[in-house]
Structure 1
Amino acid sequence: MHRPSAVRVAGAAFVAATATAAVVMAPLPAAFATPSTNVVISEAYGGGGNSGATLTNDFVELANRSTAAYPLDGYSVQYLPASPSAGSLWQVTPLTGALAPGGGYLVAEGAGSGGTTALPTPDATGSIAMAAGSGTVALVRSTTALTCKTAADCAGDPNVVDLLGYGTAVVREGTAAPAASNTTSVSRKASLADTDDNSADFTAGSPTATNSAGDTASGGDGGGPGGPTAPGAFRIHDIQGPTRVSPLKGQSVAGVPGIVTAVRTTGSKGYWIQDPTPDTDPATSEGLFVYTGSTTPTVSVGDSVLVSGKVTEYYPGTGTQSVTELGSPVSTTVSTGNALPDTVVLDDSTVPGAYTPTANGGSIEALPLQPRVYSQDFYESIEGMRASVRDARVTGATNSYGEMFVTAKPHERPTKRGGTLYGAYDQQNTGRIEIVAADGSTPTLNVGDELAGTTTGPVDYASFGGYLLAPSAATTGTAVDNGLKQEVTRKQKGKELALATYNVENLDPTDGADKFARLAKGIVTNLSSPDIVTLEEIQDDNGATDDGTVSAEATLTRFTAAITAAGGPKYSWRYINPVNDQDGGEPGGNIRQVFLFNPKRVSFVDRASAGDTSTTAVSVVKDKRKHETRLSASPGRIDPTSAAWANSRKPLVGEFRFQGDTVFVIANHFNSKGGDDPMHGRFQEPVRSSETQRKLQAEEENAFVDSVLAADPKARIVALGDLNDYEFSDAVKTLTDNGDVLTDLINTLPVPERYSYVFDGNSQTLDHILTSPSITHYDYDVVHINAEFADQASDHDPQVVRIDVNSCGRKAYHPGPGKGK
């Protein structure tokens, strides 16, 4: 997963320069093919090492215009003289690896005896001595030398992906690009457009060799000789523009003025600049990130700089919005120690209550920003600018990536313990904002803690969480620990059957003793040793090693021993091995649901039929002779060969006996939300594609529950586990039949207590306990021990229900939520 502080692939970044006059030549036959929608030749330079040259080598640069990686193994860059003779041969440089989405790729070619500056580390290396003024370069879907010698023949060769003829080149697309020289290259212009006319697509200017990491021959952020000396035509607000995507995307800009407001020295390095002289349009941001790649910036906060570079839009993840940046920068420091621009204060009065505009599921990138109407437009309109929050309450604990979430709106849907509740698709919580320190100094805090005083940093954007502040240690508020404690639920009474669910997050024998001990303590101390525990994400006996192992006996032996060592009962267990690699989760891990039960309090009814396997569907049997309803197999799985459960966990069904009564238990772990559009992304409303499968799974399980109730309307059924969806989702409503068949107990709690999981600073419900209509006397509790804490044994909170089984079917009564915490 990409995080704001992680190393990323640079966007294709090429600094254009002043175009030279085109060479006048007689018209030659044009070659037109289908313009490339992905990889193109973006720059070519043949003057390396020649007289007057700075660079020591020739080079060719490629760029990926698409949003998907483009493999280059088996491809080549090839070169042909401008006026080939019968004996002229294409020279070949093989390529390897792949071009990242929006990324660049540098191919170093022949070196000369002149020049003083080496290319940045190339992505591929050849030895072709390209001519400085004129020649033809081809990107070829093969390493076999081309044989075409005319523009028409090369245009018809299916292996030619892209073609550039410059100067007097006979082989070219359309009309040749301008001539280059010992000191100039030809670079593709205007958003890397490919019209298949070289003269329209390329201009001549100073060579700007940039590799896939974003490194340049000038060392990344410049600051040395050759930097801009005067403000250019564009200011930051011109670059940011009034929409999410820069109107200058793909273009090179020179001498952009700004004050350095913050420097990122870890991961994706760079610095933010802000124009102290804003325009009057509230939709156009005055801040901008200058991306230096792996090079540590040499500028300092307070420097007044002029920066030249290429305007790029960096997309940190699939479906996300983008960050407008300057890539391959060259800068000049004009003065130091300047005052920083004032901050934009984030609070109830500045951040709008509406979340985002919509485009019927399409992209909102082209919509004009309305920063006074939508919070996401507001944050975009101050992207890169200094902003601040005061006395900010933590709504998402610090994670291992140094990320936390706070709220700028302390009264926006607060939970009982200090978080912010996400309780409906139209309750996106506009006050949430992520905190990721630019220097890696994010303090470690839990939900409900506080950053007292003022926290200030530039506004950035990341794939997880969306908009964020990037403060430094010096601009982060004082960390205040408000003493959040783990909850402890009460012990069940003698006539109460206690059932719990706990997602133990890929538990297997390769995990350390501390994880086993902490999970065991959660069951024994915090859950007070329930009679039945359904576990999700129990892995097989060698964890993620993908060697066909499916048994989880070693995992469960070690876990139950840890529970006993923590003072708990000696639990027994039941489960069904999945078919290898068919239930999703971590590859090779074979996660499954498991029943743990205390045999001193409850008994499991083991029932199997000849030929039963993990692909056998459990069914309901009504035995009229014995006047009982039972399962065909216990444990069993609900329709495991149905397409609804493809690459997902199959529900585990078991028949238990407690004080003479039968209870049917269904352990669940529905398919994950992987592949859904992010809430904060560019597609609005977000497409929740994963919910389609969960709804099918809900229909399957609902039908099974219906079959049990058809056989015995008073059957005691408890369905519980990680449904990977919200109480208000279509999937959960389908499973419960809108509450008519199963009751989702999370809905019986007061609204501020309806959560078991925290994601992106939103307290939400993914785990559920559902009960059939005959279960009327219960005490239900979500036990908060993980999700709100920086130090977690799992990312889920467990929950428990205590049922008075003998009173089931009588007048409904339950003592209320949170009892015994």
Structure 2
Amino acid sequence: MAAALAGGLCLPLVCWPGAAAAEPGAVRIARIQGDTRISPLVGERVTGVTGVVTGVRAFGSRGFWVQDPVGDGDPATSEGIFVYTGDAVPEVAVGDAVEVEGTVEEYYPGGVDGGGQSLTQLTDPGVTVVSSGHELPEPVELTGDTLPRRYAPTGDPENGGSVEGLPLREDEFALDRYESLEGMVVSVADAPVVGPSTEYGELWVTLRPGENPTPRGGTRYSSYAAHNPGRLKVESLIPFAERPFPEANVGDRLTGTTTGPLDYDSFGGYTLAARELGEVADGGLARERTRPQRPGELAVAAYNVENLNPEDPPEKFERLAGAVVENLASPDVLAVEEIQDDSGPADDGTVTAGETLRLFTEAVVAAGGPRYEWRGIDPVDGADGGQPGGNIRNVLLFNPERVSFVDRPGGDAERATEVVGRRGEATLSHSPGRVAPTDEAWNDSRKPLVGEFRFRGRTVLVVANHFASKGGDQPTHGRFQPPNRSSEEQRLAQARAVRDFVRETREADGVRRPANVVVLGDLNDFEFSATAEALTGEGLLENALDSLPARERYTYVFDGQSQVLDQTLVSPAIRRYELDVVHINAEFADQASDHDPQVLRFRP
């Protein structure tokens, strides 16, 4: 492609001084990048930086990538770099030979406190276009065979667990391999899609389709050690107005060759910024339908409906309702999470959700389903987290033609329901009621809602949950390895509070018969987490997910990893049951919600 000549660097069609250190002060890109994640020249003003423009981004974080087509021969030092132009649209084109001066900066997408890695870039640049129309460096082809199977090195304990100062071992760790290519042109070919496309113009592919596969074409996150290094995010450098980003579902394939500079951002980490984007081939993924419950079976389902409120378009209500009827087979009891108040995200003091629920239940009837009744407790304004002003809460819907709700008045936002023994059975002092709502475990978080039901003469207690989010956790692709999961502390406390309530169904005065208890909902944590372990501790609950084949245990897709966030647990009195995670959302670009619902069927 090019050769170093006396007095300078020669590219096809043009030669100019500077890159071969013939001019005093000229700096090569590899020297700027260095062999760690932090440039040895950070903060310095550099001049005479030469290379070929390999990609231009005229929107978002504007700038362009430059690559030295010769390089220094060291695989640990990248030959590419991003030149940030701020608000200015870059006045260069792909194939231009340029000479750049600028200040070396380590930019942390999302902020330094987010825990992500930094992007080495040149800021406040002065750019000279020497000539145009040059051939581009050959892309580094990314394949499963060339990517290390280990994900990340262990961070330096003397530096807070950061990997930033460690020399790159690009042949040992996937994150080091990606870092050694930061800013360089890379390519992937015929890559399976493992994370659906989004409204932000991104999708996830895998270079290793055999790595923890799901039956539907995804890649499963099965433990804290299962990082699945084959995953890579793909975005487009082509503005949407010129070419809409393709719609892709899990199980599709990004065919042909996708080529562009390797970028890094806070939403997913290393990203192929595609200058040339392949075509999406339909993998034929279909939405699942569960079977209807039999006459003697009770069907209890959970569904996160993602901030549902009256301001949502009718189409969202119709799709959610249609899924309840067609895909979930109209369960007898439906625990819904993220029901917002009647004014939605408007922060106006409204806490009632009757209109939200009326619209939802009427949409179910219109879809051919039962006329559900509902029970819930309005929260204290602003006390339950979620979208500001939305006052999200858990609500229990039920089909009165199949199951009866036992109303026991007195429950409110701050009064805990208690277990009361009646005729030897565990019942509630208040139904519906909240579980330990004043416990600090629920600060700024949704409180569990429990209801007492009767089905074929048996009492069933259903506890609907939406545990605290993972906000504040360090990303798996970040500079701290292993990452800190600080949000887990609150969920662990919440799990213990729910477990303590379940224990009361066994130990309360007057309780002589084992209670039928179902604990379900969006727990915002994995089935292998300490949260899940706390819930199943002491043998009070069993995780129904364990009844499924391991490859089928997922309800959510994040960063190209199919994973569990929603769980269903049962007390020992429920001896035989069937759980079905109904995949209708998380794997699809077109989603009514970002979670997949689940249905539990059993005979009390």
TM-score range, shorter chain: over 0.9
* CA distance 1:712–1:270, change in 2 (3 Å): farther
AA partner of residue 527 (structure 2): E
Is it true that 1:572 corresponds to 2:373 in the alignment?
yes
**Offset, 1:396:** 0.6
2:167 maps to: 368
Q: Secondary structure at the residue paired with 1:732?
A: helix
Tell me what 1:398 maps to.
197
Aligned-residue offset at 1:362? 2.2
Q: How many angstroms apart in 1 are the aligned matches of 2:71 and 2:550?
A: 44
> What amino acid does structure 1 have at the position aligned with 2:389?
G
Matches within 5 A, 1:522-561: 522-561=323-362
Paired residue for 1:702, among 483, 499, 510? 499
In 2, the alpha carbon distance for the partners of 1:599 and 1:615 equals 28
279 and 712 in structure 1: CA distance in 2 versus 1, 3 angstrom threshold: farther
Correspondence 1:691 to 2:488: yes
Q: Are residue 779 (structure 1) and residue 578 (structure 2) matched?
A: yes
In structure 2, the CA distance between the partners of 1:252 and 1:688, relative to structure 1 (3 Å rule), is same
Contact 2:424 2:513 in 1 (8 A): no
CA distance in 2 between counterparts of 1:741 and 1:788 reads 33
Where relative contact order (Cα < 8 A, 6+ residues apart) is larger, the structure is 2
Equivalent position of 1:721 in the other structure = 521
Residue from 125, 128, 131 that aligns with 1:332: 128
CA distance in 1, matches of 2:209, 2:603: 40
Structure 2 letter corresponding to 1:631: L
Tell me which of 447, 454, 471 is aligned to 2:257: 454
- The Cα offsets for residues 753-774 of structure 1, whole Å up to 9 and x where unpaired, read as 1100001111000001111111
- The Cα offsets for residues 780-814 of structure 1, whole Å up to 9 and x where unpaired, read as 10001110111110000001011122xxxxxxxxx
Counterpart residue type for residue 357 of structure 2: L
Between 711-720 and 771-780, report the one with greater CA deviation.
711-720
Q: Secondary structure at the match of 2:274?
A: coil
Task: Report if the CA contact (8 A) 2:334-2:398 is conserved.
Answer: yes
Match of 2:535 in 1: 735
Aligned AA for 1:465? Answer: G
Tell me the secondary structure at the aligned position of residue 316 of structure 2: helix
Question: What is the CA–CA distance in structure 1 between the aligned matches of 2:389 and 2:89, rounded to whole Å?
Answer: 39
Q: For 1:105-184, list aligned pairs within 5 A.
A: none
- 1:379 and 1:613 map into 2 onto residues whose CA distance is 53
Superposition pairs of residues 93-492 of structure 1, within 5 angstroms = 230-231=18-19, 232-317=25-110, 318-359=114-155, 360=157, 362-440=161-239, 441=243, 442-472=245-275, 475-492=276-293
Q: Aligned in 2, Cα 1:784/1:712: closer, same or farther, shift over 3 Å?
A: farther
Q: Which residue is 1:139 aligned to?
A: none
Q: Report what 1:520 is aligned to.
A: 321
TM-fit CA distance, 1:595: 0.3
Query: Structure 1 residue 236: deviation in Å?
Result: 0.6
The residue type paired with residue 368 of structure 2 is: G
Cross-structure match for 1:652:
449
Shift of 1:545: 1.2
State the partner residue of 1:73.
Answer: none
Q: Tell me, what secondary structure is at the counterpart of 2:127?
A: strand
Q: Could you give the per-residue CA deviations for residues 104-138 of structure 1, whole angstroms, max 9, x where no partner exists?
A: xxxxxxxxxxxxxxxxxxxxxxxxxxxxxxxxxxx
Q: Is there any run of 5+ residues in structure 1 with no aligned partner, and where?
A: 1-227, 806-821
- Cα pair 1:266 1:439 within 8 Å, conserved: no
- The equivalent of 1:794 in structure 2 is 593
Whether contact under 8 Å (1:229, 1:306) holds in the other structure is no
Distance 1:450 1:348 in 2: 16
User: How far apart in 1 are the matches of 2:413 and 2:69?
Assistant: 67
Spell out the pairing of 1:5-16 with structure 2 (5 A cutoff). none
Question: Secondary structure of the residue that 1:514 maps to in structure 2?
Answer: helix
Query: Any conservation in 2 of the 1:267–1:294 contact (CA below 8 Å)?
Result: no
Report the residue type matching 1:724 in the other structure: N
Match status 1:628 vs 2:396 = no
What do residues 502-521 of structure 1 show as CA deviations (whole Å, max 9, x unaligned)?
A: 00000011111000000001
The unaligned stretches of length 5 or more in structure 2 are 1-15, 20-24
Contact 1:287 1:385 in 2 (8 A): yes
RMSD (CA atoms)? 1.3
2:412 is matched with which residue? 613
Q: CA deviation at 1:230?
A: 4.2
Structure 1 residues 604 and 773, CA, compared in 2 at 3 Å: closer, same or farther? same
Q: Count the aligned residue pairs.
A: 571
CA 1:789–1:712 in 2, change beyond 3 Å: closer, same or farther?
Answer: farther
Residue 496 (structure 1) aligns with: 297
Amino acid at match of 1:668: N
Residue 550 of structure 2 is aligned with which of 746, 751, 756? 751
Following superposition, the deviation at residue 306 of structure 1 comes to 1.0
Q: Distance in 2 between matches of 1:377 and 1:748?
A: 38
Deviations for 1:307-365, whole angstroms, at most 9, x for unmatched residues?
A: 11111111112211011111111122223222211111111221111111122452211
Partner SS state of residue 406, structure 1: strand
Q: Which moved more, 1:231-240 or 1:503-512?
A: 231-240
Alignment of 1:756-771 (within 5 A): 756-771=555-570
How far did residue 301 of structure 1 move?
A: 1.2
Return the offset for 1:627: 2.8
Taking only the aligned residue pairs, the percentage that are identical comes to 57
- Which amino acid letter does the alignment assign opposite residue 456 of structure 1? T
Distance 1:325 1:712, change over 3 A: farther
Q: Is the 8 A contact 1:372 1:378 kept in 2?
A: yes
The residue matched to 1:500 in structure 2 has which SS?
A: strand
Counterpart Cα distance in 2 of 1:771 and 1:410: 34
Cα deviation for residue 712 of structure 1 reads 4.5
Give the residue type in structure 2 aligned to 1:661: R
CA contact (8 A) 1:390 1:452 kept: yes
Instruction: Please state how far the C-alpha of 1:266 moved relative to its aligned partner.
Output: 1.6
User: Whole-Å Cα distance in 2 between the matches of residues 238 and 709 of structure 1?
Assistant: 67
Provide the C-alpha distance between the structure 1 equivalents of 2:305 and 2:395, rounded to a whole number of angstroms.
11
CA contact (8 A) 2:465 2:522 kept: yes
Deviation by residue 1:467-497 (Cα, 9 ceiling, x = unmatched): 010012xx21121111211111111110110
SS in 2 for 1:622: strand
Tell me if the contact between 1:391 and 1:452 (Cα under 8 Å) persists in the aligned partners.
Answer: yes
CA apart distance, 1:683? 1.4
The CA distance in 2 between the partners of 1:673 and 1:627, in whole Å, is 40
- TM-score normalised by L of structure 2: 0.93
> Per-residue CA shift, 1:65-92, capped at 9, x if unaligned?
xxxxxxxxxxxxxxxxxxxxxxxxxxxx
Greater than 3 Å deviation, 4+ residue runs: 228-232
Alignment deviations for residues 255-288 of structure 1 (CA, whole Å, 9 cap, x no partner) = 1011111111221111111111121221110110
Contact 1:720 1:769 in 2 (8 A): yes
For the residues of structure 2 that align with 1:297 and 1:348, how far apart are their CA atoms? 34
Between 794-803 and 355-364, report the one with greater CA deviation: 355-364
Contact 2:417 2:436 in 1 (8 A): yes
Q: How far is 1:743 from its partner?
A: 1.4
Q: Equivalents in 1 of 2:462, 2:309: separation in Å?
A: 24
Deviation readout 1:704-759 (Å, 9 max, x if unpaired): 11111223462111000000000001011101117x22111122211211100001
Cα contact 1:286–1:382 (8 A) shared by 2:
yes
- What residue is the counterpart of 1:169 in the other structure? none
Aligned mates of 1:443, 1:565 — CA distance in 2: 33
Structure 1 residue 380, shift from structure 2 partner = 0.4
- Report whether the alignment pairs 1:661 with 2:458: yes
CA distance, structure 1, for counterparts of residue 137 and residue 479 of structure 2: 29
Q: For residues 332 and 137 of structure 2, what CA distance do their matches in structure 1 show?
A: 61
CA–CA distance in 1 between the matches of 2:395 and 2:75? 56
